[in-house]
A and B are shown apart, each in its own frame.
Chain A
Amino acid sequence: MSSSFNRRTFLRGMLSGTAVCVGLPVLDRFLNGNGSAFADGSKLPVRFGTYFWGLGLTDTPTGGTRWVPSKTGPGYEIMPELESLKAVKDKVSVFSGFRAIGDGRPNLVHWSGHASILSGIAPAASGRFDGPSFDTRIADAIGTSTRFKVLDVDASMSRQPISYSTRTGGAFATPETTPLALYTRLFGAGFQDPNSDDWKPDPSIMLRQSVLSAVKEQRQALMSGAGKADQIKLDQYFTSLRDMENQLAVQLQKPDKCDSCVVPTAPKETPRSASVDVVRANTRMMARLLAMGLACNQTRVFNFVHTGGTSETYLAGQNKIYHQITHDEPTDAKLGYQPETSKLAGLVMEALGDFLIELEAIKEGEGTVLDNSLIMAFSDTGYAKIHSIENIPMFLAGRAGGRHKAGQHIATKGESVTRVSLTAMQLVGAPVGEFGSGTMKTARPLTEVIA
Chain B
Amino acid sequence: MNRRFVATSVIAITIAFASTAVPQQLSKPAKWTKTYVIEWNEPAMYYGAKTGVIDPGTDCPKGTNPEIDWIQVLVDAGYTLEEAKWLRNPANPTRSPVHGQNQMAFRGKDRANVYVNPTSTPDTGLVGVSGTTGEGVNLDGDEKTGFTSPTGEKGIDNNFYKCLGCWKTYRGPRRLSSGALQFNDSMRNGAWTTVIVVSGEGVDPMNDNHVKIGFYVSNDKMVKDGNGNIATDYTFRIAPHAKYEGILAARTSNGRVISTAPGDITLRDPGYTRDLELLRARVDLQMKPDGSLTGYVGGYRPWEPVYKGWVNARGPVIESLTWVQLPAVYYALRRSADYSPTGANGEKTHISFALRIDALPAFVVTPDASKEVASVETYKASAPKETTRGAAGSFYVIDGIVPDRTGKFQAGPNAVILPPSTSSTDKRQ
Contact = CB atoms under 8 A, between A and B. Distances in A.
Interface of A: 61-62, 99, 101-108, 158-161, 177, 272-275, 310, 312, 314, 319-321, 324, 327-328, 330-333, 385-388, 390, 413-414
Given A319-B89, A330-B64, A324 B228 contact: no
A96 to B, nearest CB: 14
B190 A102 contact: yes
A413 B98 CA distance: 32
Contact of B98 (A105, A310, A314, A414): A310
B52 A99 contact: no
Nearest to A112: B189
Main secondary structure of the interface of B (DSSP, over half): loop
Given A61-B176, A312-B90, A324-B321, 13 more contacts: A62-B53, A107-B186, A272-B424, A273-B91, A275-B91, A319-B90, A320-B90, A328-B323, A330-B53, A330-B54, A385-B178, A388-B185, A414-B227
26 contacts: A102-B189, A102-B190, A104-B221, A106-B186, A159-B428, A272-B427, A272-B428, A273-B424, A275-B91, A310-B97, A314-B90, A319-B88, A319-B90, A324-B90, A324-B320, A328-B320, A330-B52, A330-B54, A330-B64, A331-B53, A333-B55, A387-B182, A387-B185, A413-B226, A413-B227, A414-B228
Contact of A321 (B90, B392, B393): B90
B235 to A, nearest CB: 15
Interface of B: 51-55, 64, 67, 88-91, 97-98, 176, 178, 181-182, 185-186, 189-191, 221, 224, 226-228, 320-321, 323, 392-393, 424, 426-429
B97 A159 contact: yes
B50 to A, nearest CB: 9
B155 to A, nearest CB: 33
A104 B427 contact: no
A245 to B, nearest CB: 46
Contacts of B55: 333
Nearest to A321: B90
Contact of A386 (B89, B182, B189): B182
Contacts of B227: 413-414
Given A160-B428, A314-B90, A386 B52 contact: no
A390 B176 contact: no
Contacts of B185: 107, 386-388
A327 B224 CA distance: 25
Contacts of A62: 53, 176
A315 to B, nearest CB: 10
Q: Indicate the member of A62, A161, A310 with the most B CB atoms within 10 Å.
A: A62
A390 B191 contact: no
B181 A386 contact: yes
A310 B393 CA distance: 16
Contacts of A273: 91, 424
Contacts of B228: 99, 390, 413-414
Contacts of A330: 52-54, 64
B279 to A, nearest CB: 30
Contact of A272 (B52, B224, B426): B426
B374 to A, nearest CB: 28
7 cross-chain pairs, A with B, having the tightest CB-CB distances, nearest first: A104-B190, A333-B52, A104-B221, A321-B90, A330-B54, A386-B181, A333-B51
A324 to B, nearest CB: 7
A398 B227 CA distance: 31
Contacts of B97: 159, 310, 312
A106 B52 contact: no
A101 B98 CA distance: 24
B189 A107 contact: yes
Contacts of B323: 328
Contact of A160 (B91, B186, B221, B429): B429
Nearest to A61: B176
A158 B186 CA distance: 28
Contacts of B190: 102-106
A158 B426 CA distance: 11
Nearest to B186: A106
Contact of B67 (A102, A107, A310, A328): A328
Nearest to B221: A104
Contacts of A310: 97-98
Contact of A106 (B90, B393, B429): B393
Contacts of A158: 428
A141 B49 CA distance: 57
Given A105-B189, A333-B55, A61 B181 contact: yes
Contacts of A320: 90
A333 B227 CA distance: 26
Contacts of B182: 386-387
Contact of B427 (A108, A159, A386, A413): A159
A235 to B, nearest CB: 46
Contacts of B67: 328
B392 A106 contact: yes
A227 B90 CA distance: 77
B181 A104 contact: no
A413 B176 CA distance: 20
Nearest to A331: B53
B237 to A, nearest CB: 15
A105 B64 CA distance: 33
A137 to B, nearest CB: 27
Contacts of A99: 228
Contacts of A321: 90
Nearest to B90: A321
Contacts of B53: 62, 330-331
Contacts of A102: 189-190
Nearest to A336: B52
A330 B424 CA distance: 32
A62 B221 CA distance: 27
A275 B91 CA distance: 8
A272 B423 CA distance: 12
Contacts of A314: 90-91
A106 B189 contact: yes
Contacts of B226: 413-414
